[in-house]
């Protein structure tokens, strides 16, 4: 039996890019897709409503994310400075688009629960008036706290995915060493589960989410993710985002080129705290 401390050691770079060793992880990934999809049968508002909600969510999430990735890819072809120089290998756009569609499927399986509940006339956690959300100051501190908590989750999830134990579930995302916006959400089912489960919270009326800030933050995170994977930098963004500890294309591209540094997904706060930035390694 391997010891847990061994399993939690960072996956070595050589292991990172070896193609084998996906057998068990691949089976778990497939089981996650099946379980997330079959779970709809247990929906208290009826499986038909759940599957309708899921398919609408899948079309909307998958369609919008892929369309946006296409637009961001075209924009990056015409403007911005290439980080890794002229592209030497295939950008694997088709493969990353397929991975993204599968990730959208998992996200849609989560989104179907609050959608079905709302369609059935039950209250959910998403509210659209300040009064329902508890007033302006409540919205402001809940949003700030929410961003910090979610960012901490994203950083530690990503670091755990780089341990020997969990790297097989994240290896597919590191096929894209010189990524495009299509790679932004090109993650496997287990990683999708770990990333998108907070969508479920919206189903609960006690988990109040103020609609306008929720939509803006989700949309902002999608746009940021395109930028992180677009392969080019824009001087204005690289100058402003780091002042707010927000991740940038230059910062995250380093993670794809060297998977041992720069784990932050939304902010770079935890990379600063844990000294896991590329510049910390060189010291
Ligand atoms: Zn990674």
Tell me the mean pLDDT in the region 182-195: 97
Q: How far is the CA of 70 from the centre of ligand 1 (A)?
A: 22
Q: How far is the CA of 16 from the centre of ligand 1 (A)?
A: 10
Tell me the mean pLDDT in the region 54-69: 98
Say how many domains are in the chain.
1
Q: Determine which of 11-15, 39-43, 70-74 has the lowest per-residue pLDDT on average.
A: 11-15
Q: How far is the CA of 196 from the centre of ligand 1 (A)?
A: 16
17 pLDDT above the threshold of 70:
no
Q: How far is the CA of 65 from the centre of ligand 1 (A)?
A: 20
- Ranges of H-type helices in 79-201: 93-119, 136-161, 189-196
Q: Tell me, what's the pLDDT at 12?
A: 62
Q: Determine which of 18-22, 33-37, 111-115, 137-141 has the lowest per-residue pLDDT on average.
A: 18-22
The pTM (predicted TM-score) of the whole model is 0.92
Q: Tell me, what's the pLDDT at 20?
A: 44
How many C-beta neighbours within 10 Å does residue 160 have? 16
Q: How far is the CA of 208 from the centre of ligand 1 (A)?
A: 31
Instruction: Tell me which residue range forms the domain holding 18.
Output: 4-281
Q: How far is the CA of 3 from the centre of ligand 1 (A)?
A: 23
């Amino acid at each position: 039996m391997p010891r847990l401390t061994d399993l939690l050691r960072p996956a070595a770079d050589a292991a990172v890019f070896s193609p084998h060793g996906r057998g068990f992880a691949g089976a778990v990934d497939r089981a996650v897709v099946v379980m997330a999809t079959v779970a709809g049968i247990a929906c208290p508002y009826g499986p038909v409503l759940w599957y309708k909600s899921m398919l609408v969510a899948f079309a909307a999430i998958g369609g919008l994310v892929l369309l946006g990735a296409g637009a961001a890819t075209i924009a990056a072809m015409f403007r911005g400075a290439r980080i890794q120089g002229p592209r030497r290998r295939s950008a694997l756009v088709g493969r990353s688009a397929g991975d993204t569609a599968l990730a959208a499927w998992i996200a849609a399986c989560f989104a179907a629960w609050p959608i079905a509940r709302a369609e059935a006339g039950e209250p959910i956690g998403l509210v659209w008036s300040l009064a329902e959300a508890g007033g302006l100051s409540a919205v402001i501190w809940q949003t700030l706290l929410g961003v910090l908590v979610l960012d901490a989750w994203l950083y530690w999830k990503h670091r755990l995915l780089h341990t020997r134990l969990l790297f097989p579930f994240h290896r597919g995302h590191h096929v894209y060493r010189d990524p495009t916006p299509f790679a932004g959400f090109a993650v496997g089912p287990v990683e999708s589960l770990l990333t998108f489960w907070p969508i479920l919270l919206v189903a609960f009326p006690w988990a109040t989410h103020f609609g306008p800030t929720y939509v803006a933050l989700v949309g902002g995170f999608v746009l940021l993710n395109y930028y992180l994977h677009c392969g080019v930098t824009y001087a204005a963004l690289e100058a402003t985002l780091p002042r707010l500890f927000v991740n940038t294309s230059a910062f995250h591209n380093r993670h794809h080129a060297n998977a041992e540094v720069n784990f932050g997904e939304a902010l770079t706060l935890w990379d600063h705290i844990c000294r896991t930035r590329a510049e910390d390694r060189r010291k």
